[in-house]
Chains A and B, each alone.
Chain A
Amino acid sequence: MERVIVDVMLKSEILDPQGRAIAGTLNRLGHDQIANVRQGKRFEIEVSGEVTDEVLDQIEELAKTVLSNPVIETYAIYLDEQEAQ
């Protein structure tokens, strides 16, 4: 089964207190080179049948309207090449 990946991230101008807390902890563990962390979400969508352009368009619409909130988030869509053979 082919998989489409949708990554959702908070927009750069939106404060991410979780990411900041994670970066703070990593720094405390001695990883001084880590300057910043932002945490996002990854959706792995399995598609029955072929991933046609039409299917990708549908998933893009869902990414825009359901999986992300355009007020605070951005999304990126790509095919999971490892699964798609």
Chain B
Amino acid sequence: MTTRVGVITFPGTLDDRDAATAVTIAGAQAQPIWHKEKSLKQVDAVILPGGFSYGDYMRTGALASLSPIMEAVVEAAKEGMPVLGICNGFQMLCETGLLPGALTRNTGLHFICRPEIIKIESNTTAWTNSFEVGEELLIPVKNGEGCFQVSNEGLAEIEAEGLVVARYQDNPNGSVANIAALRNAQGNVVGIMPHPEHAVDSLVGPSIDGLGFFWSIAGVTI
């Protein structure tokens, strides 16, 4: 049975169509979901795509994380449904508390848009099980507020529990411990600041290294 992946669109979301395309290329089925809906339409997994939901008002991802659909997403995530938050979606996952920490303005203040190398450290999540630990991926970074911050105690917990999914080789935004992607303890929820959905087709991306995230979910047995 084909995995059905819900892709949620908020006002100001940009990358929902790229995420849906990536899902399709990987052999799964993409189901668009509008943020005002309350039901996840019986999808098997959810992607919170990148963009600038609500114009980044108040804090990035904060208003979107209070959207009607997010209640269902948080509930489903707690019951084990795979959820991937990319960029703005990662910011939402931190705002809801599904992932620790917060994302703040890049230390260099510039909006950064370029491919970066990240190294996979955890391949036991729903979204990274097709990778090898230590695998290096070339994936576009595209953010103004991608600087991951967390208290020292919070970082110690993250490291002790092995929640880092990927680190930057050459940290572009000041994130603590070079963290580029993070998981929850169960491994169903992953947040990533770079954009794997922009690296699925060599004609328009720097690599096809991002496909593994979508293969991982497409291969999940239901």
User: Which residue of chain B is the closest to A43 with respect to CB atoms?
Assistant: B58
Of the candidates B104, B150, B154, the one whose C-beta lies within 8 Å of that of A15 is: B104
Interface presence of A55 (CB below 8 A):
no
User: Which residue of chain A is the closest to B109 with respect to CB atoms?
Assistant: A17
Interface presence of B186 (CB below 8 A):
no
- How many chain B residues touch A (CB < 8 A): the figure is 21
Interface presence of A34 (CB below 8 A):
no
A10 vs B102: C-alpha distance when bound (angstroms): 12
A17 near B95 with CB under 8 A, answer: no
Chain B residues numbered 120-158 whose CB sits less than 8 Å from any CB in chain A: 147, 149-151, 154
The proximity string for A residues 63-78 relative to B, scoring 1 for CB distances below 8 Å and 0 otherwise, is 0001101011000000
What chain A residues lie within 8 Å of B174 (beta carbons)? Answer: 15, 17
The proximity string for B residues 92-128 relative to A, scoring 1 for CB distances below 8 Å and 0 otherwise, is 0011000011101111110000000000000000000
If over half of B's interface residues share one DSSP class (helix, strand or loop), that class is named, otherwise mixed; here it is: loop
B149 near A17 with CB under 8 A, answer: no
Interface presence of A84 (CB below 8 A):
no
What chain B residues lie within 8 Å of A18 (beta carbons)? Answer: 105, 109
Interface presence of A45 (CB below 8 A):
no
A61 vs B107: C-alpha distance when bound (angstroms): 30
The total of interchain contacts (Cβ-Cβ below 8 angstroms) comes to 38
A71 near B58 with CB under 8 A, answer: no
The proximity string for A residues 10-28 relative to B, scoring 1 for CB distances below 8 Å and 0 otherwise, is 1001110110010000000
A17 near B107 with CB under 8 A, answer: yes
What chain B residues lie within 8 Å of A15 (beta carbons)? Answer: 104, 107, 147, 149, 174
Interface residue tally of chain A, by bracket?
10 to 19
Give min CB distance, A60 to chain B, whole Å.
Answer: 17
What chain B residues lie within 8 Å of A21 (beta carbons)? Answer: 109
User: Which residue of chain A is the closest to B176 with respect to CB atoms?
Assistant: A15
A41 vs B95: C-alpha distance when bound (angstroms): 18
A71 near B105 with CB under 8 A, answer: no
Interface presence of B17 (CB below 8 A):
no
Of the candidates A17, A41, A66, A71, the one whose C-beta lies within 8 Å of that of B66 is: A66
B105 near A69 with CB under 8 A, answer: no
**Residues in B lying within 8 Å of A, measured CB to CB:** 58-59, 62, 66, 94-95, 100-102, 104-109, 147, 149-151, 154, 174
With A10-B104, A18-B109 given, name 13 new contacts (CB 8 A): A13-B151, A15-B107, A15-B149, A17-B106, A17-B108, A17-B174, A66-B62, A66-B66, A67-B58, A69-B95, A71-B94, A71-B149, A72-B149
Complex A-B: 21 CB contacts under 8 Å: A10-B104, A14-B149, A15-B104, A15-B147, A15-B174, A17-B106, A17-B107, A17-B108, A17-B109, A17-B147, A18-B109, A66-B62, A67-B58, A69-B102, A71-B100, A71-B101, A71-B102, A71-B149, A71-B151, A72-B104, A72-B149
